[in-house]
Chain A
Amino acid sequence: MNTVYLQNVNRNDYELERREMMNRTLIELNNVSFQYESTPVLHNISMKVEEGDFLAILGPNGSGKSTLLKIILGLLKPTGDIKLFGESMNSFQHREWIGYVSQKSNAFNTAFPATVEEVVQSGLTKKVGIFKRLPKDTNKKVDDVLRAVGMEEFKKRTIGQLSGGQQQRVFIARALISEPKLLVLDEPTVGVDMKNVQSFYDMLGSLNKERNLTIILVTHDIETPANQIRHILFLNQKILFHGKKEQYYKMPKEQIYEWYGHSVRTN
């Protein structure tokens, strides 16, 4: 019995490896460095993210996690070479392939008079293109993505009436409506009730598995999304670790304490 179980595990591992081998590289950074005025933030970052991955980026405050995301999103211009979906950053035209969910706290004005439906529709702006109207099947698409994030009943509510966790689900729906291949999230659960955080990550996990959506998540919390994550990247101005989560968990705690500069409890 045990042998069969082990064989299954091995076969699953093999399947996973094979899938990863076949997957294409969505993000490739080579010797990327960035500094704000004269303060260096990222130093010689080289990394790859493959299709279908669920990557968590960890690191202490000020380690450059959000900066790295902003570089991937094209909001900051670093030195070095970046390829998105195999194309050079400068010639990459398909921004709609990348969905972005920022920290709730600084993202928007909660008194903004917009319904959930209007916010989700706005995710199609880039895909539809400038000067063009939203297509006729937009309403159905809105329903589909709201269903995917469990928010279909809230379609006509104004965004300010929702709780922090519900708002983040709406923002995921906004990102999903343009059918991205990559979803980038910057500490999405800051300010969200603890009881909603687990179901939030479960939802991300199923999007990753069922839709083969590649996810990059910047987070301080490595415990709650532990089941969903596949790889971990530990950043402190440079990459200190990038590998499978199992390897990360095997690291001596002292080492991780050291990376955090002894300031953060890692459990």
Chain B
Amino acid sequence: MIDAILNYEFLQNAFISGIIIGIIAPLLGVFIVVRRMSLIADALSHVTLAGITGSLFLSQSVASLAVLNPMYLGMLAAVGGSVLIERLRSVYKHYEELAIPIIMSAGIGLSAIFISLASGFNTDVMGYLFGTVSAVSRQDLFVVIGIAIIVIVFLTCLYKELFVLSFDEEYAKASGLPAKGIHLLFIIVVALTIAASMRIVGILLVSSLITLPVASAMRIAKGFKATIIYSIIFGELAVIIGLVVAFYLNLAPGGTIVVTSILILVIVILVKKMNVRKENNQ
């Protein structure tokens, strides 16, 4: 396996991208989960799909766009979708969650139209839906690295503001923090991370890499920073084990990564239960 990684560029790309995504997806995921925004990740991933299928369709029908990396239009769609979700949330003040199904169905609807308009890119679409080990290009890797830098700079600079906003929004506003601006930046960064993650885990499973490691971490961590650290450890474990299994068994990495995350979650829940029982017996 190590030989293969050293010899094949595509494997290097997949593993390095995977390891980076294994850090940034759960890192943002902690803030997404505690703010009860898990479903936004799903909505944004479906909008990303609309961007990608749109790009694939365009590159098929307009010859000069054939070289366009679908990731770019995917990213653009995700960022556009994130801004639209925020807009809709303020339109439906008392039913803010309505924004999510509206954007999600718009994403799926557009994707379905683009897929049926074009023909012959079914394998590509499968790769984007469930992830791929073999189709991660150097260019994709550079995009992932760029987005990871943005995410890490963003979280380092605004960590304390995001913590206050997540914990107690009213207090954050009362202390004069620009809550709306920070929230908008946050959701744009989430959109970029989703677009970066889709090559490895696939659109349909991106939100699981954002939420499942956090779900496991929250069972055992005592404190917010500890939750972040555990989430990253579980995210990395899932990505590495998932990619290795996908490589050997020739499976879609999205599937193997998510199933590994679920196994980690089940193990964490069981171990926690056993410990609680032990403590009660003592």
User: Residues of A at under 8 Å CB distance from B?
Assistant: 73-75, 95-96, 98, 100, 102, 107-109, 112-115, 117-119, 121-122, 124-126, 128, 130-131, 134, 156, 158, 174
Contact = CB atoms under 8 A, between A and B. Distances in A.
B222 interface: yes
Given A113-B218, A125-B161, A130-B161, A108 B168 contact: yes
Shortest beta-carbon contacts, A-B, top 9: A95-B176, A115-B223, A126-B175, A73-B174, A114-B224, A100-B174, A113-B227, A125-B160, A131-B157
Nearest to B227: A113
Interface of B: 34, 36, 157-158, 160-161, 163-164, 166-168, 170-177, 218, 221-227
B163 A126 contact: no
Contacts of B171: 100, 102, 107, 174
10 contacts: A74-B174, A107-B170, A108-B167, A109-B167, A112-B34, A113-B218, A122-B163, A128-B160, A130-B158, A156-B222
Contact of A122 (B158, B160, B173): B160
B223 A122 contact: no
A112 B173 contact: no
A158 B222 contact: yes
B174 A109 contact: no
A175 to B, nearest CB: 9
Nearest to A174: B171
A114 B161 contact: no
A107 B174 CA distance: 12
Contacts of B168: 102, 107-108
A115 B222 CA distance: 7
Given A125-B177, A126-B177, A75 B170 contact: yes
A118 B161 contact: no
A122 B163 CA distance: 7
A96 B175 contact: yes
A187 to B, nearest CB: 14
